[in-house]
A and B are shown apart, each in its own frame.
Chain A
Amino acid sequence: MLLTLDMNDPRPLHEQVAEAIRRAVAEGSYAQGDRLPPARDLAAALGINANTVLRALRDLRDEGVLEFRRGRGVSVLSRPNPRSVIEGKLRSLLAEAVQYGYRHDDVIELIRELS
């Protein structure tokens, strides 16, 4: 599972982790029913607390993306809906834009220009 985090993203870490996992599942490297790596393995690789990863996994379960099963770990229940994937990307885009001094209206203007 490939996870990407943005160091400049001001959002809480567990939201970022949830978004990274959502993106990894949406990209299709994990099919429905596939088991995710254990939370502690993900946490160790990312160098963050296992509870943060667990919180992200729980958020995704509440969203209907993941499924928790006793003794079988965490597996993919369904692909995340496209809207939540786009939303996640927009959030990180807005966060990055703020770093460069852009206001949200400027970003909206930019998108209009491009489309």
Chain B
Amino acid sequence: MGLRARFLSVAAGWSVLVAAVLVTAPLTLRDRLPDPIATHWGGPSGVPDGSMPFTASVLFQAGLWVLISGVPCVFALVNAGMLRNRANRMALGAVLGGGGPFFLGLQAVTLSANLDTPDWRQAGHLGWSALLVVVALLLGGWLGALAARPGPNDFPEPKATPPRRVPLGPGQRAVWVSSVRNGPLVALGGSFLAVGTGLAVLALLGGGGMLWIPATIMGLVGLVGVIFSSVRVQVTEEGVVLFYGPLHLPRKHIPITRVERAWSEELFPANVGGWGVRGLPGGATVMLRGGECLVIGYVSGGRFAVSIDDAENGAALLNTLVARASTASGAR
């Protein structure tokens, strides 16, 4: 059985199993549960403050679980190559592994609070058992990721052609500079920042303390948006430096000794999981536009990619500098 078939059968089996428990458990206890049943507890006192009809609550919980557990299956169906990468596979495993215990725990807590009460308003407090649901989520997520860990860890292989080099004499030094910026993303971040600033000014002028919350959120979202929607990349003898945003801060430095090789590759948001800064360290991508990307393979395994113009030249220079650094350290 192939990797995809194996993943899909385990994921689908797990999804159906959890869904079955989510439906049968309340049905078997139906006689001892109120209808509607308490589904929401609020405030510091922890008394029930929301209810749902019995059938709707069962369908809602089971339906939400099927929807969430379906996401990894859809990912696996659409892009089988994704499963061959360990970080991606572990993320999908964590969703499945954490989601199941989370929904089961949620249901167990809800049912036990409602059990043997004539009306939902008299349902018991949740107390510390709510914490158990969070623990179940984290523990399940960890186990799910661990279960998905064994297997291949592939990154799309670079073209088989030997890397192009830049002719570089002993007395010569070469640098490569390029930048990319996503205009709409900059505009979006800028408008968030402007609205956040406006709200902050209103709050300062006495618009009420409540305004500070949206002002801070909008301001932070806008700031992050503006900073991470443009990037400049520089390759010198010291290695690769990425400068984010208009202020060229923050920056990310990859020393030349950490680079094994570099290549240019056509990547699109669909390949790397969306726009912006994506993925975990060791498989991260800065995706600001689809197309030509500079991909850097680390000595320690894993890779880093950034969408940038003229990546071919950047990769050629980086390979040249890596070769030069390794001969220099070999001669020492």
Contact = CB atoms under 8 A, between A and B. Distances in A.
Interface string A17-41: 0000000000001100000010001
Contacts of B216: none
Interface in B95-139: none
A4 B172 contact: yes
Contacts of B153: none
A41 B232 contact: yes
Nearest to A99: B171
B174 interface: yes
Contacts, number: 56
Chain A interface helix/strand/loop/mixed: mixed
B173 A45 contact: no
A5 B177 CA distance: 14
A5 B173 contact: yes
A7 interface: yes
A5 B317 contact: no
Interface residues of A, number: 17
Contact of A2 (B166, B179, B232): B166
Interface in B130-178: 166, 168-169, 171-178
A2 B174 contact: yes
B166 A37 contact: no
A41 B179 contact: yes
B174 A37 contact: no
A3 interface: yes
B291 to A, nearest CB: 15
A7 B313 contact: no
Chain B interface helix/strand/loop/mixed: strand
A4 B178 contact: no
A8 B317 contact: no
A97 interface: no
A29 B313 contact: yes
A107 interface: no
A30 B313 CA distance: 11
B234 A45 contact: yes
B232 A4 contact: no
Contacts of A41: 177, 179, 232, 234
Contacts of A30: 310
B180 to A, nearest CB: 11
Nearest to A37: B177
Contacts of B313: 1-2, 29
Interface in B192-246: 232, 234-236
B177 A1 contact: yes
Contacts of A44: 234
B174 A3 contact: yes
A41 B169 CA distance: 24
A45 B177 CA distance: 7
B175 A3 contact: yes
Nearest to A4: B174
Nearest to B232: A41
B171 A1 contact: no
A1 B168 contact: no
From B176, B179, B313, B314, residue with most partner A Cβ within 10 Å = B176
Contacts of B236: 45, 47
A30 B177 CA distance: 12
B176 A2 contact: yes
A43 to B, nearest CB: 10
B173 A7 contact: yes
Contacts of B173: 4-5, 7
Contacts of B232: 37, 41
Given A37-B179, A41-B179, 10 more contacts: A1-B178, A2-B175, A2-B314, A4-B172, A6-B172, A29-B312, A29-B313, A37-B178, A44-B234, A46-B175
Interface of A: 1-8, 29-30, 37, 41-42, 44-47
21 contacts: A1-B178, A2-B166, A2-B174, A2-B316, A2-B317, A3-B177, A5-B173, A5-B174, A6-B169, A6-B171, A6-B172, A8-B171, A29-B310, A29-B313, A37-B178, A37-B232, A41-B177, A41-B179, A42-B175, A45-B235, A47-B236
The 5 A-B pairs of least Cβ separation, nearest first, read A45-B175, A4-B174, A2-B313, A45-B234, A8-B171
